[in-house]
Amino acid sequence: AFSEDGKKWTFERFRLNSSISVLDPNVVRLEDGRYRLYFDEGFRDPFNRRNSGLLSAISSDGVNFKVEEGIRYDEPGMADPKVLKMGEVYRLYYPSDEPGKIKTAISYDSGFTFKKESTLSIQNAGASFEIIPVEGSWRIYYNSLEGTSVAFSSDGLNWKFE
């Protein structure tokens, strides 16, 4: 959707120069002003939890995207990826198979390639979560046994339950 004032929105479908099905989209604005769309290809094998890996497409206007060659990151079972620019790096977060765990990967090349970084322990974290910037730090909202829970981090790796 598009809005000039943040109040009135107009639906606009993004366009991809491919017939690939997009699953779990996540868009990040790059330092040069372009947009990178991260996504899983819309095919998953429910028996071995294998997908095509984290793919991406690039756009100068945030609407018309061109699929980039190659895979940004690949781990069996990865779903619902979230990429954030944190200082000089881009960090990928995705749910772990282990309860209360979220995995991360890191990129030093503007989010083009990622390497495995860490497995975070976040009190009762479920598979669904969102991370937002808050005054130079980060806050994660996630599903837990208690409902929606919140944790805070100054570096994106060490989280304190709020």
Average pLDDT, the chain: 84
User: Which percentage of the chain shows pLDDT scores above 70?
Assistant: 90
pTM: 0.82
More confident residue, 91 or 95: 91
- pLDDT at position 51 is 55
- pLDDT at position 123 is 66
- pLDDT at position 116 is 94
More confident residue, 149 or 99: 149
HEC profile for 20-79?
A: CCEEEEEEEECCCCCEEEEEEECCCECCCCECCCEEEEEECCCCEEEECCCCCECCCCCC
Q: Is 112 within 8 Å of 89 (Cβ atoms)?
A: no
- What value does the mean pLDDT take over residues 140-160? 85
Segment 93-106, tens digit of pLDDT? 988 877 778 899 99
- pLDDT at position 59 is 96
How far apart, in whole angstroms, are the C-alpha atoms of residue 81 and residue 78? 7
How far apart, in whole angstroms, are the C-alpha atoms of residue 130 and residue 146? 17
- pLDDT at position 126 is 65
Question: What are the tokens at 97?
Answer: 């198979």
pLDDT band at 43 (very low <50, low <70, confident <90, very high): low
